[in-house]
Amino acid sequence: MRQISLVGFTGITGPYTVEVCDVFFTNCYFVGSLNIIPPVGPPPGPVVISLPSFLDSVPVIIIRITDADGCVVTHQLDCGDSELTCDITYILS
């Protein structure tokens, strides 16, 4: 199972809406709404997102974050051709 670890965000305002998508945005998964991303506040440690099975075999994953001001930030995560893990720590700035 692939996972993404979110360590912290800077430059955008919470709460945040987080989605993960394939590179074409044809298959997206709504992760949830988060008020605070560590290390700014609770919960302690990173927010770990377990990706849905339809993203298991894709080499590139897009994380899409929308903040309270409606600002949308996307970032491409290159997972290579791994079929089992894509453990990524990403600091948005």
pLDDT tens digit sequence for 50-89: 888 888 778 888 888 888 888 888 888 886 654 434 444 4
| C-alpha distances out from residue 87 to 1, 16, 56, 79, 90, Å | 10, 21, 12, 8, 10
Strand partners, 15: none
Half-sphere exposure of residue 35, counting CA atoms within 13 Å on the CB side? 3
Residue 9 pLDDT more than 70? no
Domain ranges of the chain: 3-92
Residue 39 pLDDT more than 60? no
End-to-end CA distance of the chain: 27
Please tell me the CATH code under which domain 3-92 is placed: 2.60.40
Residue 27 pLDDT more than 80? yes
Greatest mean pLDDT among 1-10, 18-27, 33-42, 78-87 lies in 18-27
More confident residue, 65 or 41: 65
Q: Compute the distance between CA of residue 20 and CA of residue 29 in angstroms, rounded to an integer.
A: 5
The answer to whether 20 touches 3, Cβ cutoff 8 Å, is no
- Token readout for 82 is 């791994």
Q: Which pLDDT band, with edges at 50, 70 and 90, does 28 fall under? A: very high
Residue 46 pLDDT more than 80? no
